[in-house]
Amino acid sequence: MLSLLWSEDKAISAQIAPGSRLILDSVLLGPFQAERPLNDPGTPYRTLRIWLPPDYDTDTAARPLLVLLDGQNLFDGATSFSGEWQVDEQLSALEAQGVRVPVVVGVDNAGVQRTAEYTPVAHPEYGGGEAAHHLVFLTDFVLPYVQAEYRVSKRPVEVAIGGSSIGGIMALYAVLHAPESFGTALVFSPAMWFLGKEVRDITDATIPNDLLCWGRMGTAEGRDNWNESFAVGQERLNRFGLGFIETYYGLRRSGWPAGNLEWSLDPQGEHNESWWSSVFPLAVRWWLEHPLVKAPLQPAVPER
């Protein structure tokens, strides 16, 4: 497929961290997605934004792979609908500190169909409920293409998926329902309230011992919903925080090992890209430095 190098010497607005590369690529949609209206109606492809670390060309070992949802928001404020995560700057800073950072694949959302694609059940007011179809697209179309074309790991625990808000729901859903493909979830402010009582449908599952999950939510999120708040220990939480806590206990009840689950509330956290960008390096470092991930490096050659 055609790949376009996206760098500072091109007439593109993004300013990519020095030494790294951002490639605009695309992958053919699955039959279900092809029937849905996208940002560009009738287009049978979904844009992928693939970030390669500065030493990707000289490092012969397979890199960890991080698939991030809402690809439009990751690298460039001009393409974002609500702010930029500054993923390239954050990861380049980690690499300068000696962390062997992953290749990142940002998968663009489907615009008006974002809620549908990222949620496993329908909400009575907002709709949704098509996450199972989107997961097939990720596992059967995106991952095989990326793992064949780029020098990345196929070991599930080294293949992470991350997302925020309803994208956080999708990231957790992906790990629970396709652990043979995604072994790590990075979950930012998951909108678990969207699922209502159905939250148990995605947390009451059999949990393999080698899955990892990092989750964080701010207690300052959803300030407009404090008319319905609940006392939880020393904290007073609204429906956003309560759903987050209920998810933690659901995962632990299902057997998720405590050492493989980092799930915490942040009193400074807000529901926006700026805060998610600030905690993104913490999530990546936790994942890459976990004992399950730290294993002997294996040389890898892309399959062509």
Return the pLDDT at 33. Answer: 47
Return the pLDDT at 20. Answer: 81
Return the pLDDT at 29. Answer: 67
Extract the tokens encoding 260.
């493989």
Q: Is the pLDDT of residue 286 over 60?
A: yes
Give 38's pLDDT tier (boundaries 50, 70, 90): very low
> Which residue do the tokens 């960008």 mark?
277
The answer to the question of residue 31 being in a domain is: yes
Give the C-alpha separation, 193 to 156, whole Å: 28
In this structure, what CATH number is given to the domain that contains residue 195?
A: 3.40.50.1820
* Domain ranges, residue 29: 4-288
3-state secondary structure at position 280: helix
Please say whether the beta carbons of 26 and 137 come within 8 A.
Answer: no
Read off the amino acid at residue 121: V
Return the pLDDT at 16. Answer: 73
Task: Give the residue from 210, 185, 104, 106 showing the smallest Cα distance to 152.
Answer: 104
The answer to the question of residue 296 being in a domain is: no
Return the pLDDT at 2. Answer: 26
Return the pLDDT at 172. Answer: 94
The answer to the question of residue 297 being in a domain is: no
Give 125's pLDDT tier (boundaries 50, 70, 90): confident
Of 234 and 76, the one with more pLDDT: 76
The answer to the question of residue 304 being in a domain is: no
Provide the number of structural domains found in the chain: 1
Distance of CA 259 to the CA centre of its chain: 21
Residues 133-186 have pLDDT tens digits of 899 999 998 999 999 999 999 999 999 999 999 999 999 999 999 999 999 999
Burial of 57 (0-12, 13-18, 19+ CB in 10 A): exposed
Give 203's pLDDT tier (boundaries 50, 70, 90): low
The answer to the question of residue 299 being in a domain is: no
Q: Is the pLDDT of residue 34 over 60?
A: no
Return the pLDDT at 164. Answer: 94
Task: Give the residue from 24, 52, 301 showing the smallest Cα distance to 153.
Answer: 301
Q: Is the pLDDT of residue 277 over 80?
A: yes
Q: Is the pLDDT of residue 227 over 50?
A: no
Give the C-alpha separation, 262 to 3, whole Å: 36
Q: Is the pLDDT of residue 279 over 90?
A: yes
The answer to the question of residue 300 being in a domain is: no
Give 39's pLDDT tier (boundaries 50, 70, 90): very low
Burial of 124 (0-12, 13-18, 19+ CB in 10 A): exposed
- State what percent of residues in the chain have pLDDT above 70: 75
276: number of Cβ within 10 Å: 26
The answer to the question of residue 303 being in a domain is: no
Give the C-alpha separation, 67 to 142, whole Å: 9
Of 23 and 285, the one with more pLDDT: 285
142: number of Cβ within 10 Å: 18
Task: Give the residue from 278, 281, 277, 247 showing the smallest Cα distance to 264.
Answer: 247
Indicate the helix (H) or strand (E) that contains 108: none
Beta bridge partners of 51: 22, 104
The answer to the question of residue 298 being in a domain is: no
Q: Is the pLDDT of residue 21 over 50?
A: yes
Give the C-alpha separation, 250 to 240, whole Å: 16
- How high is the mean pLDDT of the chain? 80
Pairing outcome for strands 45-52 and 21-28: antiparallel
Read off the amino acid at residue 102: P
Give 205's pLDDT tier (boundaries 50, 70, 90): low
